[in-house]
Structure 1
Amino acid sequence: MQVIDRRKAMSIPPLLRLGFRPFFLAGALFAAIAVPLWILALQGVTGWQPSGGWLAWHRHELVFGFGLAIIAGFLLTAVQTWTGLPGLSGKPLAALALLWLGARAGWLAGTPALPLLVLELIFPVVVALVMARMLFAVRQKKNYPVVAVLILLALADGLSMLGLLRGDDGLQRQGVLAGVWLIAAMLGLIGGRVIPFFTQRGVGRVEAFAPIVWLDRALLIGAPLVAILYAAGLGLTASLPVGVLFALLGIGHLVRLARWQDKRLWRVPLLWSLHLAYAWLAVACLGMAAWNFGWVASPSPATHALNVGAMGGLILAMIARVSLGHTGRPLQPPRAMIAAFILLQLGTLARVLLVEFWPVGSLHLAATCWAIAFGLFVIFYAPMLCRTRADGHPG
């Protein structure tokens, strides 16, 4: 609030005053629509094909459509606090949001691969450049890893789009899986900062949760290393060394989670939703280790533990809390969001544990839970995101 011109800020439409507003709303709405659309496509009732086909669309858009939109909204908001410089707002923010929306529409409209590649890559590159410009301007070295992960995400997106351009399903899959684990790296990086902080504040704890610096650094390096292995095509078949890497990552996340525990957090929905979602990140890593060790037949349950439980769960919990704080409201979510958090967990359990025994039903149950959870966020948070702050401040 101290780094912006109040009069100028208040003249901007509320939806465009900070990055979290358009991207949280658009990302959640896209999540609520895209998964049911995928289910309809599986049933053959959609009547058209997006670029590359429905499978290519589904696996790409969860990561680079939905996931990257929410990450952009969070980072473009947080960077103003980190640097003391004005964040992106107004027409530049609207233009960036339209770039994201254009790529989503381009995929669904069946745009040819080459123009779609250009349209798709502009968004992550611009987000990385904006973050780099602001962080480098104040030499804030502790957040440089954020820029590095964003650049790697843009490269992974480029690899997946190159696969689409060449009609190479394997190459596209390598890019998407690399993107998935780069999202995991970002979840670990941001979650490792905000979950203990939110927990301390939420339960009224006096002392902070002291980080284990070497563990934080190891986890920050480990997930991008997995992503690089996938991008190189080295993680697509089971491998003992890769299994060991995943096992170490899973154990590291569990150690972190155990150190953040406080029995009072289980009475606060904005906290237990974060902790349960972070637990799915550890489950995903350990599940991938089990597959690489040959203990389970498929990596799919672990991948969906990451995509649905960790990414979906952490995103839903984070945007529910951040939206309240940044719109000047008490940190008490609408009661419907408790149902949303529970539905997201039920959907994850269905997609990860029931699919082998109840393949079609569990898929439909998981999709329904996911869509309702994000739909509830849209219904109850859209008015907050589209209106001025409750306390009258800009932002």
Structure 2
Amino acid sequence: MPDRPTSLPVLFALGFRPLFLAGSLFAVFAIPLWIAAFFGHVDLNPAGGWLAWHRHEMVFGFGVAIVAGFLLTAIQAWTGVPALTGTPVLLLAGLWLAGRLLWLFGAPHWLLIPVDLLFLPLVALAIGQSLWKVRQTRNYPIVLMLLLLSFCNLLALIGLERSDFALQRHGAVAALWLIAGLMGLIGGRVIPFFTQRGLGLQEPVAAWPRLDNLLMAGSILVALLMLSGVGLVPSPWQAPIYLLLGLGHIVRLLRWHHPQLWTVPLLWSLHLSYAWLALALIAMALWHGGWFGGFSQATHLLAIGGMAGMILAMISRVSLGHTGRPLQPPAAMSLAFILLNLAVPLRVWLSIPLPQTGFWLASLCWATAFGLFVWYYAPILLAPRPDGKPG
């Protein structure tokens, strides 16, 4: 079904255009800014201080922008209901940007909190309305995840207001693991399909609904453990939960694997990001069992390798497909994928013996990776489809 016409610039034709571009630009600057602030080189006071800003904004700023852009665009293909276009997309993108500026420049809480809180529920409403119109029950869990993310943000903002930074941390970390759940849900659908299409195979690997449902339920359980604070304290009884989830994701990866995927950057980048998700879960199991260094290391395996890795892979593909272009990314994107994956061991392991070296090198790899996306894809996201179709 065609998109509704809009007189606004093509940037606001569909949700992925402004949110992928803005989210990636934010990623380019946010991590180097955080590292500079961490080492005392920045004279600025964001809301709640730099650690609270970093913890919140990499999830509810960067991560949520890409999730929202993807869902606001994909919902049309899933349901046949026209996606938001024009003014609603402009307003949502403006609301997201306002939240980022208010956080960074330490706006008063009475202004920051309602502005920042509004974005996710509005996205959930837009997605929910489309799904309800066609009674597409199989995608209702996505609305549930968006509402849970909204609740996590509410708790994080309450923590900010009360200067209760334990509560703020609970909300932000729980949201990261909810995004991991979305990675499992959406990745479980698109990775085998993209692999089949990209390699010209007969058909994608058949899904195992029981495993899929168990992994989704486990992701929600992990998020609830983080939200309550229980998951932030090493406890041997929690180790089997993370271990089973990690092994479940590895089983999926092994079933999806095909040797030829390593010749296609848009495929190996997706598979590798999913592998980091599995490794992050196993690292959490080891941490709870007392056999792995720290919670921060496990969290950054997920945040950089898993979340950011899948984001970069997905936006590189979706931005081509939804603008009517061949699925052939610029050659430089292979370097971007390599650099982002290199940032994981630099941040997780090298930063332990050499903090400044590890942090700065990881920051450089991260910023260059997303900078390459912005450089090569901004002209695509700002230009009409070459086939003349809307979108």
Once the two structures are superposed, the pairs formed by residues 196-345 of structure 1 within 5 Å of their partners are 196-345=192-341
Q: Does the 8 Å contact 2:340/2:365 carry over to 1?
A: yes
Deviation string 1:337-382 (CA, Å, 9 cap, x unpaired) is 1110000011112112222222220111111000000011001000
Normalised by the size of structure 2, how large is the TM-score? 0.98
SS of 2:207's equivalent in the other structure is coil
Of 346, 350, 353 in structure 2, the residue corresponding to residue 357 of structure 1 is 353
Tell me the amino acid that sits aligned with residue 117 of structure 2.
Answer: L
Q: Does the 8 Å contact 2:3/2:85 carry over to 1?
A: no
Q: What displacement does 1:118 show?
A: 0.8
Match of 1:37 in 2: 33
Deviation string 1:193-217 (CA, Å, 9 cap, x unpaired) is 1110000000110122111110000
1-side partners of 2:268 and 2:57: how far apart?
A: 28
1-side partners of 2:344 and 2:151: how far apart?
A: 29
2-side partners of 1:238 and 1:226: how far apart?
A: 13
2-side partners of 1:376 and 1:207: how far apart?
A: 33
Normalised by the size of structure 1, how large is the TM-score? 0.97
Q: What displacement does 1:14 show?
A: 1.0
1:373 aligns with 2:372: no
2-side partners of 1:359 and 1:42: how far apart?
A: 11
2-side partners of 1:117 and 1:192: how far apart?
A: 34
Deviation string 1:94-133 (CA, Å, 9 cap, x unpaired) is 0010000000000011012232111111001111111111
Once the two structures are superposed, the pairs formed by residues 55-134 of structure 1 within 5 Å of their partners are 55-134=51-130
Tell me the amino acid that sits aligned with residue 19 of structure 1.
Answer: G
Match of 1:181 in 2: 177
Deviation string 1:179-228 (CA, Å, 9 cap, x unpaired) is 11001001111111111000000011012211111000011111111111
Tell me the amino acid that sits aligned with residue 183 of structure 2.
Answer: L
2-side partners of 1:178 and 1:125: how far apart?
A: 17
Count residues in correspondence.
391
2-side partners of 1:333 and 1:3: how far apart?
A: 26
Of 348, 367, 380 in structure 1, the residue corresponding to residue 344 of structure 2 is 348
Match of 1:54 in 2: 50
Q: Does the 8 Å contact 1:3/1:85 carry over to 2?
A: no
1-side partners of 2:153 and 2:104: how far apart?
A: 17
SS of 1:289's equivalent in the other structure is helix
1-side partners of 2:293 and 2:372: how far apart?
A: 35
Q: Does the 8 Å contact 2:195/2:204 carry over to 1?
A: no
SS of 1:165's equivalent in the other structure is helix
2-side partners of 1:258 and 1:278: how far apart?
A: 11
SS of 1:235's equivalent in the other structure is helix
Q: Does the 8 Å contact 1:51/1:57 carry over to 2?
A: yes
Deviation string 1:238-291 (CA, Å, 9 cap, x unpaired) is 112321111111000100000000011000000001111110000000000000
Match of 2:12 in 1: 16
2-side partners of 1:332 and 1:297: how far apart?
A: 40
2-side partners of 1:231 and 1:30: how far apart?
A: 26
Larger displacement relative to structure 2 (146-155 or 218-227): 218-227
2-side partners of 1:264 and 1:270: how far apart?
A: 12
2-side partners of 1:44 and 1:119: how far apart?
A: 29
2-side partners of 1:204 and 1:297: how far apart?
A: 42
2-side partners of 1:43 and 1:69: how far apart?
A: 27
Tell me the amino acid that sits aligned with residue 233 of structure 2.
Answer: T
Tell me the amino acid that sits aligned with residue 375 of structure 1.
Answer: G
Q: Which runs of 5 or more structure 2 residues have no equivalent in the other structure?
A: none
Q: What displacement does 1:393 show?
A: 1.1
Tell me the amino acid that sits aligned with residue 366 of structure 2.
Answer: W
Q: Which runs of 5 or more structure 1 residues have no equivalent in the other structure?
A: none
Match of 2:136 in 1: 140
Q: Does the 8 Å contact 2:335/2:369 carry over to 1?
A: yes
Q: What's the % identity of the aligned pairs?
A: 55
Of 185, 189, 192 in structure 2, the residue corresponding to residue 193 of structure 1 is 189
Deviation string 1:282-336 (CA, Å, 9 cap, x unpaired) is 0000000000011123111110000000001000000000001111111110011
2-side partners of 1:338 and 1:230: how far apart?
A: 34
Match of 1:4 in 2: 3
2-side partners of 1:23 and 1:16: how far apart?
A: 9
Q: Does the 8 Å contact 1:280/1:310 carry over to 2?
A: yes
